[in-house]
Chain A
Amino acid sequence: MPMEQVEIEKLIKASLPDAQIEIIDLAGDNNHFSAHVISAAFEGKSRIQQHKMVYDALGDKMGGILHALALKTSIKKD
């Protein structure tokens, strides 16, 4: 059972309220997404820690019903 884009945004926003999220459904199947997450909460964190913050927000969905999420994180918009 794939996952809706809006659900991904909701989960991330619940953990990172200030996050700006740009999501693209890569395959049009609600299962392969790319996401760029911008949040001040990433300040001072390594890339691995930043990605873990997003994965933690997605809970057990990541690697489960959400098969593939190509992730990019930034502290502020480029």
Chain B
Amino acid sequence: MTDQTAQNIQTTIDDNPVVLFMKGSKKMPQCGFSSAVVNALSYLEVDFKDVDVLEDGELRDGIKTFSDWPTIPQLYIKGEFVGGCDIVKEMFESGELSAYLKDKAIPHKV
């Protein structure tokens, strides 16, 4: 991963409270796993920045190195890696995601 890619990722997660690195966009997810996380965030009415890794091969591999996580999607909240589809889904279903959002002062539907 180039320093430029690492810097771009860092800037993106610093500048946006909630970032979803995904395949496709929030309006047009291109993968079931990405779509599942978009749905969870949309249900909770969380405003988030979607980053389509399919548009940049360097980013698609770089984010996996950056997070030390082998798959896409990847959710970041307040600069911290929260998880991929499985973990976010599990948190959403258990109510842990709402608690996490509240703890991080991210506006969402209660």
Report the Cα distance A48→B90, complex, angstroms: 12
Q: 1/0 contact trace for A12-52 toward B, CB 8 Å?
A: 00000000000000000000000000000000000110011
Q: B49: CB under 8 A from chain A?
A: no
Q: B43: CB under 8 A from chain A?
A: no
Interface size on B, residues (CB 8 A): 13
Q: B86: CB under 8 A from chain A?
A: yes
Binds A, one of B2-10, B11-19, B63-71, B101-109: B63-71
Q: A68: CB under 8 A from chain B?
A: yes
Asked whether, in the complex, the Cβ of A47 is within 8 Å of the Cβ of B64, the reply is no
B70-84 residues at the A interface, CB under 8 angstroms: 70-71, 81, 83-84
A–B complex contacts, Cβ < 8 Å, 10 sampled: A47-B90, A48-B81, A48-B83, A51-B86, A51-B87, A55-B70, A63-B64, A63-B70, A68-B33, A71-B86
Taking A55-B69, A71-B86 as given, write out 7 further A-B residue pairs in contact, using a Cβ cutoff of 8 Å, ordered by the A residue number: A47-B87, A55-B71, A62-B71, A63-B70, A68-B33, A70-B85, A72-B86
